[in-house]
Amino acid sequence: MKKFGVTVSGHIMDSQRLHPEATGDLTGLLNELIVAAKTISAEVNMAGLADILGMSGDINVQGEYVQKLDEFANTAIKRRMAHSGYVAIMASEEEADAVMVEDDCSPGRYTLAFDPLDGSSNIDVNVSVGTIFSIHRASNGCRPNETDLLQPGRRQVAAGYIIYGSSTMMVFSTGEGVHGFTLDPSVGEFYLSHPNIKMPGRSRYYSINEGNRKFWPPGVLAYIDYLQTTDKTSGRPYSGRYIGSLVADFHRNLIAGGIFLYPRDSRNPLKPTGKLRLLYEAAPLAFIAEQAGGRAITDDGRDILDIDPEALHQRVPLIIGCRHDVDIAEKFSRGEMQ
């Protein structure tokens, strides 16, 4: 990746220089996140060797078995942020409540919501997993509280993910486009490998768990049938690709073009609004999608970035991908196309 030679820290500093009013706190926060990402990447890549595979035995607030690497990643990020001075309060998929940052009354200026390890059910079978993060400005001064975290995605200051796959990549945006950096493990540096990523105008892939077909809302069912119908002029049928790691499915669609759907599931009264979480899965990826020219909506046509969160672990149905395709999916979800 040295062909560009720009490191992620160099890139962040360059964009900070464009903002003379910047204090450097966002730069500092992102740099701490990068250290955590390198730590997690090393652990994920060693997982097969170290005795870290499998369950930790705990059950998290989501009612899901916590994998040891989930815990490791969660701790790695919390520890980096706790005394960085950049963060006032955090939300993690692995923490039932907001994580206060024990500091005197000089709390950081930002909040961090994160999914420490997304796709963790795939860890033991060596499928790509990732970390997703979302950064907002804190607004409650010396008394940070949950309301600092419960902000609509459109107000995010920065968002992104690290994908631990065939290579470790960090993809993020601070509102000035989406840029991808690939980790050179021999140097321990992320180098700019994908400057100014734009989602392709057209999709080739659709990504949904077909096993839930009987429980999809009618608009989603009609839309998937539409994608599976042959029509050469519109490149249909699309190819189905479903990895089961949101970060991996999203990253493929970002680079190669595609649409991902995790709609609500009529079968599961516990999750009437789908499985994915707004604060640290849907909203950060929606921010990236829009910055890259794509879109993200719910399965009843609401814009993900405009949803006012009501709870830390609030779930939302998610349709995210190339703008043209999400526009069509929206028409199906509103019954305007059958």
* 115 is an interface residue for ligand AHG by CB under 6 A: yes
Kindly report the backbone phi and psi dihedral angles of residue 128, in degrees, each rounded to the nearest multiple of 5, phi listed first: -55, 135
Nearer to ligand AHG, 61 or 157 (CB): 61
Q: How far is the CB of 115 from Mn ion (least distance, A)?
A: 4
CA nearest 132: which of 297, 54, 246?
246
Q: Give, in order, the Cα–Cα distances in Å from 338 to each of 23, 69, 215, 220, 298.
A: 52, 43, 18, 10, 18
Out of 24, 188, 240, 244, the only residue in the binding site for ligand AHG (CB under 6 A) is: 244
Q: Which stretch binds ligand AHG (CB under 6 A): 16-24, 111-119, 286-294, 306-314?
A: 111-119
Kindly report the backbone phi and psi dihedral angles of residue 252, in degrees, each rounded to the nearest multiple of 5, phi listed first: -60, -45
Site residues for Mn ion, 99-158, by CB under 5 A, read: 115, 117-118
Asked if 251 contacts 169 with a C-beta cutoff of 8 angstroms, the reply is yes
For residue 244, the partner it binds in Mn ion, ligand AHG, none, with Cβ less than 5 to 8 A by kind, is ligand AHG
Q: How far is the CB of 310 from ligand AHG (least distance, A)?
A: 20
For residue 275, the partner it binds in ligand AHG, Mn ion, none, with Cβ less than 5 to 8 A by kind, is ligand AHG
Angle among Cα 139, 19, 304 to the nearest 5 degrees reads 50
DSSP state of 121: G
For residue 206, the partner it binds in ligand AHG, Mn ion, none, with Cβ less than 5 to 8 A by kind, is none
Q: How far is the CB of 44 from ligand AHG (least distance, A)?
A: 13
Amino acid at 301: G
d(CA 262, CA 40): 27
Out of 179, 275, 295, 315, the only residue in the binding site for ligand AHG (CB under 6 A) is: 275
Out of 32, 71, 118, 148, the only residue in the binding site for ligand AHG (CB under 6 A) is: 118
Q: Residue 237, preceding bond cis, omega within 30 degrees? A: yes
Out of 28, 107, 119, 263, the only residue in the binding site for ligand AHG (CB under 6 A) is: 119
* 330 is an interface residue for ligand AHG by CB under 6 A: no
How many other C-beta atoms are found inside a 10 Å radius of the C-beta of residue 174?
Answer: 22
Site residues for Mn ion, 4-43, by CB under 5 A, read: none
d(CA 248, CA 162): 10
How many positions of this chain bind ligand AHG (CB under 6 A)? 13
Interacting residue ranges for ligand AHG, rule: CB under 6 A? 64, 93, 115, 118-121, 209, 244-246, 262, 275
